[in-house]
Every structure is written in C-alpha cells, then in structure tokens.
Amino acid sequence: MMLYRLIQASQCDGVQHTVISMSSLDSMGERIRALGIEVRLLGMSRSVPNPFSLIRLVRWLVELRPDVVQTWMYHADLFGGVAARIARLVPGRGAGRLSRLTLAWGVHQTEFPSFGSGVKLALVAKCCARLSSWLPDVIVCCAEAARSSHSGGGYCHKRMHVIFNGFDLELFKPRPRDSDPLRPALDLGPAAQIVGIVGRYDPAKDYGNFVSAVAKASAMLPGCHFVMIGRGLDHGNRELTMMIGRAGIEGVCHLMGPRSDVHLVIPSLDLFCLSSRSEGLPTVVGEAMACGVPCVATDVGDTALLIGDTGCVVPRGDPEALAASMVSLLSLSREGLEQLGAQARSRMVSRFSIERCWAAYRHVYSTPRGALEFGVDPT
C-alpha cells in the first residue's frame, strides 16, 4: 500500500514508473496497473533461486534506463541491488545514464531478522548487511526503530535515512456519525461505545494481549463493545475463539474478519487499540488518527512518536496497562474524546501526509551520491 500511495502522489510530478514484481501478479499489482503503471513479472519461485531471472531483470533495467531503482524489502534489496549494479556496467545505448542511476534500498520492518524468524530471511538480511556499505546509494527506513535495529544488525549507518510512511488523508478522514456502518450491523444503539483493533492474525500483533485487556476493561466499561477486523479475525479461527471464550467476553467481542471498507469503519470507533509486540511505524494507528479516532497502543517501533500526546502508549505485553488506558480514555466525555481525535487528525495532516512522504523520497533521489554517503538526512 505504501508503494501504491507513493506512485499516486508522485504522478502529479510527472514521474514515470515501472513496477517489477519478483513473483506473480496479485490484487495490489492489479491496482497499480489500474493507475496506468506498467507492471512486469519475474515469476520467481519462493523456494529455488533462478539465475535466469537475474539476467532478465538486468535486461529490463538496461531497456528501461531508470534514473532511480527503488527496491522494497530484503529479497528485492539483494536481488534488485545486484541487478542494478550489473546494469550500470553494461555497455551500449543508455549506459551513461545507467551509470548515474540512484539505487535505493527499502527497509520496512522494525526488527532485524533473526534465525528464529526464518533461516532464509535471516540469511538474506545478513547478506544485505554485508553489502550495505557499497551496493546501495541510500537505505530508506520507515522508522527510527528500524534504522536503529538494522544498524545494530550490521547495516551501514551512514547510508540509512528515515522517511516516515505517508497516509492518504482524503481516504482516511472523520465522517458523520449518522453514516456509521458499525452500530446498525451489530444492533447497537448510538450511545454504545466501540473499541476497535485492525490487523491480520499474527504473533507479532499479540491478540492474546488484546483479549486479556478486553476482559479486564469490559468489567469497568458496561455497554462497551470491542470489534476485531482483519484476516484471521473470524469465527473460523479456533485458537482465537477459544481464547475469547476462556476470557468470558463472547458477548462484547465481535469478530468481523477482513473488510474492504476499513476507511468507513474506523471513523465509527470511539477508540482504536494496538496490542502489538513488534511494529515499525504502524499504518493502522496512523489511519485511525487520520480518521479522528484517539488511540491506545503498545510502545513498539515508532508508535509513541506517531501518537505524540494525542493518545496513550503503554508497555508491550502488559494487558493491565492496556486495559487501564482504555478505561481512562473512554471515561472522557464525548466532547473530550472528539477533541483528542481532532488533535490526532491535525498531527497527521502536519507531519504524516503522503505528499510530505513523497517530497522526502524525491529529495533523497535528487541528492548527489556524495552527500548521501556522508549521512545527510533529508527528512
């Protein structure tokens, strides 16, 4: 989504894009094509590397003669970085322009991968760390926490720059209370309070923490309901439903699964919650803030920097603290919550718009390599 939004924002500047997928086409690739962008597919397997794919990618780069190659995540950083370096050396038409191209890596994960998170991923990340001092011209990190973690993992610190993710503030925005899709769907009255959490079912999201916090908070918040939205957050998830059953909160906890109208649902919430044990700059928190919804979140990645003084940040893995913050914020008057939400929206507009994000990327791309190598931070 971040790549998609950057493409949208940069089209206004007349930037031409070609997106190359290492694997096959998915729904996001289709959405990028719908913007009028060429999407090429390498069709690589996840299991066995194919050297012919590298040759094909080098040929495409020589053909396209880009000013910038921006890779996205570890496998693309390594594979695309090597291809871009080879393409710079290929003689012939456009070789001069290729020799001047900027190669930018993208780090969009907070924690530097360990072997516990997967042997292949850890090996690729370690290879990237070894090559980071000479292969890329710049390494763009989505959060300060990501820069710190990867620098500790061996990445070249002087080439790393933080550009915070940008948000679509026209899509995610406050909406009238009478357009609320949640309360009618859940058969709740207009005065009912709703706390929401959004994200896939994954250990990093720590839904056990959320469920435990809900069990504690619901006892002090009669009439409050809690909605869980995302892939795996449905009644087919036996592990999750058993967890909710053991906590005794079936009557106030609603599993809604993945939805395509999250931008319409979030403004209906009174409070947004993030229970994660690991994040970079959490997109869902920024989206909730953009919708004018106050947030209570765990202190992971750059979440505290994102929220500022517009919500509550608590230690990760501490359901008591998470519950106490829920109760504290929901004890405010409706006017108090709305004022806090308005401050959250204002913070997003001033610091985290997609236009501001693209301007930072554009600055990095146009900064001479010599300046980048000496750690000039354009953000």
One-character DSSP codes across 355-376: HHHHHHHHHHHHS-HHHHHTT-
Q: Residues of the chain with pLDDT > 70: what percent? A: 93
- Lowest mean pLDDT of 1-10, 39-48, 223-232, 277-286, name the range: 39-48
Residues 58 and 203 in one domain: no
In this prediction, residue 359 carries a pLDDT of 94
Bridge partners, residue 107, by sequence: 141
379 in a domain, yes or no? no
133 in a domain, yes or no? yes
Average pLDDT over residues 305-330: 97
In this prediction, residue 377 carries a pLDDT of 45
DSSP 8-state assignment for residue 303: H
Q: Is 332 left (phi over 0), alpha (psi -120 to 50) or beta?
A: beta
The pTM of this model reads 0.79
312 in a domain, yes or no? yes
Average pLDDT over residues 66-95: 87
Taking the C-alpha atoms of residue 126 and residue 181, their distance in angstroms, rounded to an integer, is 46
* Domain that includes residue 366, residue range: 2-166+354-373
Residues 257 and 345 in one domain: yes
DSSP 53-93: HHHHHHHHHHHH--SEEE--SHHHHHHHHHHHHHHHH--ST
Residue 311, CA atoms < 13 Å, CB-side half-sphere: 32
Mean pLDDT of the chain: 90
Q: Can you say how many angstroms the Cα of residue 18 is from the centroid of all Cα atoms in its chain?
A: 22
Query: Is 311 a residue whose pLDDT tops 90?
Result: yes
Residues 275 and 136 in one domain: no
171 in a domain, yes or no? no
Taking the C-alpha atoms of residue 67 and residue 99, their distance in angstroms, rounded to an integer, is 9
Residue 114 banded pLDDT, cuts 50, 70, 90:
confident
Average pLDDT over residues 29-43: 92
Find the CATH number of the domain harbouring 365: 3.40.50.2000
DSSP 247-297: HT-TTTEEEEE--S-HHHHGGG-SEEEE--S--SS-HHHHHHHHTT--EEE
Q: How many separate domains does the chain show?
A: 2
Closest residue by Cα to residue 284 from 340, 228, 242: 228
Residues 158 and 206 in one domain: no
Residues 33 and 157 in one domain: yes
Residues 151 and 130 in one domain: yes
Average pLDDT over residues 331-338: 94
Longest CA–CA span in the chain (Å) reads 73
Cβ neighbors of 1 (< 8 A, separation 6 or more) are: 28, 283
